[in-house]
Amino acid sequence: MLTIYGRTNSVNVQKVLWCLAELDVPHERVEAGLHFGKNHEPWYLALNPNGRVPLLVDGPFSLWESNTIVRYLAAKHGVGGVCPRSLETRALAERWMDWQLSTLIRPVSIVFQALYRTPPAERDLAAIARNTVEANRAMELLDAHLATQPFVAGDAFTMGDIPVGATAHRWLEVAGIERPELMAVRAWRDRLTQRPAFRSHVMLPLS
């Protein structure tokens, strides 16, 4: 049985659970990370030396890095669907997965962690302001792209929508920050909300 280690309020775990649900792959999930612990135990560090969640264990094979796990699952169970058969479309999907990791997640995480997991007296207000600007700039780039097509890699939903979709949803839900209108991103998020897998694994209260 395929096992995912990770807590459901982690955006990186959400990507993997969303992908598994899209692909209808049987699996079990074991709570890990933050107060659940496990991710700093020696056996876990032997499988993921970063001590982070998610971690996938698929028989004798294990894998860390959420976007890589999404790629692995899509290639194993979703070629012709979540993993496009066309090399060009697949590359476009992967480009947005890389962009999520290289550009979007850092400022979104800094602001989210500050506002949801840091006591008010300990918050770095300058860092929140600076990273809000940076996240909004990235979201405006995404908005301009999604104004031209319904999903990040073209006309159909692909694995490329998963990391960006989970992160963009989080940004749209963070309370107490200024955001541009992001009409195209919101329309795309509405399309994602029609997917049961997105509703079950990503549309959860932020904590």
Ligand X SMILES: N[C@@H](CCC(=O)N[C@@H](CS)C(=O)NCC(=O)O)C(=O)O
**Site of interaction with ligand X (CB under 6 A):** 10-12, 33-34, 39, 52-54, 65-67
Distance in Å, CB of 81 to ligand X, minimum: 22
- The answer to whether 142 and 107 are in contact (CB under 8 A) is no
Distance in Å, CB of 77 to ligand X, minimum: 19
Instruction: CB nearer to ligand X: give 9 or 193.
Output: 9
Distance in Å, CB of 24 to ligand X, minimum: 22
Instruction: CB nearer to ligand X: give 62 or 149.
Output: 62
Alpha-carbon distance of 43 to 177, in angstroms, equals: 40
DSSP 8-64: TT-HHHHHHHHHHHHHT--EEEE--SGGG--TTSHHHHHH-TT--S-EEEETTEEEE
Instruction: CB nearer to ligand X: give 184 or 202.
Output: 202
Alpha-carbon distance of 22 to 198, in angstroms, equals: 8
Show the DSSP H helices in 78-124 as ranges.
87-99, 105-117
Distance in Å, CB of 111 to ligand X, minimum: 14
Q: Cα 92 to chain center, whole Å?
A: 17
Distance in Å, CB of 12 to ligand X, minimum: 4
Distance in Å, CB of 106 to ligand X, minimum: 10
What's the Cα-to-Cα distance from 170 to each of 108, 111, 121, 134, rounded to whole Å?
Answer: 8, 11, 23, 15
- The answer to whether 8 and 201 are in contact (CB under 8 A) is yes
Instruction: CB nearer to ligand X: give 112 or 157.
Output: 112
Instruction: CB nearer to ligand X: give 12 or 131.
Output: 12
Instruction: CB nearer to ligand X: give 9 or 89.
Output: 9
Here the tokens at position 124 are 């770095």
Alpha-carbon distance of 112 to 109, in angstroms, equals: 5
